[in-house]
Amino acid sequence: MSFDIFDKDEFLGILNTKFIGKNIIHNEITDSTNNLAKRENQNPDGTVFLADFQTNGRGRQGKTWISKKNEGLWFSVLLKPYVDIHKLSTLTLVTGLAVYRALKKIKCENVYIKWPNDIVFNKKKICGILSECSFKEDCIDYIILGVGINLYTEEFDSEIKNIATSLYYETGKKIKRCEFLAEILNEFEGLYLEWIENSIENIITDYKKACITLNKDVRIVINNSSYNAYVKDINNNGELIITKDGKEEVISAGEVSVRGVFDYV
């Protein structure tokens, strides 16, 4: 079996969505699939942009996302929902839950979501999500959900080797990209339609069960400072409710990183 080749026909055969991923644009190389989706935003709702290799993979908070050739799934989903902009903050949580469920479906144990939307496997990061939105006259024009999952990496660059992992590293298994991408999108579409149509409550309930950050002492990092806090809950806006020095505070994802008190998780 070759992991170099993304088999589009096999992908479409496994995909059982109504519209997400039906139009898939696969490039061998691009700067960033999020940038590509932005340039190609005239494509239909649910289009997926996939690359074997990104020369300028981008992470949250201006960080770089290392995306070497055929070491993982680097893709972005273009979405054009008619929803209130206040709902937006929870869509990355929905995406994280879809990836989490897809990993559970292939029998990965010890997988959790680290708030807001990192997926960790044995307490190391296996997946990150970067969502970006474009507005037109105070409404959503389009959303780009960028997902990076380390699948086959055996050795990580020194700057991330203590916090990053891959599916192969944890399980010794190499799942085909076409298969795993289809599984993720199958999970995602149901959650996404529920997110559009219903209240977020049920999704947040499931998210909380999968979230490793909940009911824990953590270290909150904002810019160059940090402090310890206890995570009490996650509200229906996807925000953390923490207690710090006996007082309750609400923290939204934005510029904040949450770490374990002694470790990454």
Binding mask 144-183 vs ligand BTN (x if CB under 6 A, - otherwise)? --xxx-----------------------------------
Vertex 14: Cα angle to 8 and 18 (nearest 5):
95
Which among 14-22, 27-35, 209-217, 227-235 is the span making contact with ligand BTN, rule CB under 6 A? 27-35
> Contact with ligand BTN (CB under 6 A): which of 6, 52, 60, 143?
60
- Should residue 34 be labelled a site residue for ligand BTN when binding is judged by CB under 6 A? yes
- Should residue 128 be labelled a site residue for ligand BTN when binding is judged by CB under 6 A? yes
- Should residue 58 be labelled a site residue for ligand BTN when binding is judged by CB under 6 A? yes
Which among 104-112, 124-132, 176-184, 233-241 is the span making contact with ligand BTN, rule CB under 6 A? 124-132
Vertex 7: Cα angle to 96 and 151 (nearest 5):
40
Measured CA to CA, the distance from residue 180 to residue 175 in angstroms comes to 7
- Should residue 89 be labelled a site residue for ligand BTN when binding is judged by CB under 6 A? no
Query: Which residue of this chain has its Cβ atom nearest to ligand BTN in the complex?
Result: 128
Which among 60-68, 94-102, 176-184, 249-257 is the span making contact with ligand BTN, rule CB under 6 A? 60-68
**Residues in touch with ligand BTN (CB under 6 A):** 32-34, 54, 57-60, 63, 65, 67, 74-76, 118, 128-130, 146-148
